[in-house]
Amino acid sequence: MLNLLITAMIIFLISFIVMMLSSLLSKKKNNDREKLSPFECGFSPFNSSRLPFSIRFFLIAIIFLIFDVEIALILPMIYTLKTSNLLIWTYTNFIFIMVLIIGLYHEWNQGSLNWTF
């Protein structure tokens, strides 16, 4: 138990040191207004450098990442078929696929998959 506590403290200490070093080394020293503004051939910028971001695009990207991770979890299920009990394997995969289908139905029902408003 003491060994585990010492290991956790060492990991915490190393993580804290790395975070502090990265924070100190990544800081910009000169916060000049001219250097922080966007550069357009020596002229002041005509419009904002920040373009409006579509929240719909962000939500669809997050949904894509979630289902992409789920595909990465589904692929190894084929290899476990040889070494698993067929009944347990079938129930597990059925429950997993049903959770995915229910999640997809919920996103579709909430209108998160519609690009237009």
Q: Decide if 45 is inside a domain.
A: no
Residue 93 lies in a domain: yes
Tell me if 59 is assigned to some domain: yes
pLDDT tens digits, one per residue of 50-108 = 667 777 777 778 888 887 888 888 888 888 888 889 999 999 999 999 998 898 888 88
In a domain, 66, yes or no: yes
Contact criterion met (CB below 8 Å) for 40 and 46: yes
pLDDT at 39: 63
69 located within any domain: yes
Task: Tell me the residue range of the domain where 69 lies.
Answer: 54-117
pLDDT surpasses 90 at 14: yes
Residue-level pLDDT at 61? 83
Indicate whether 27 belongs to any domain: no
Total of domains in the chain: 1
Q: Is residue 47 part of a domain?
A: no
How far apart are alpha carbons 30 and 62 in whole angstroms?
Answer: 36
What tokens were used for 27? 């800081």
Q: Give the helix ranges, DSSP H, for the chain.
A: 2-25, 33-36, 55-74, 77-80, 86-110
Is 38 within a domain?
no
Report pTM. 0.48
**Whether the Cβ atoms of residue 70 and residue 86 lie closer than 8 Å to each other:** no
pLDDT on residue 87: 93
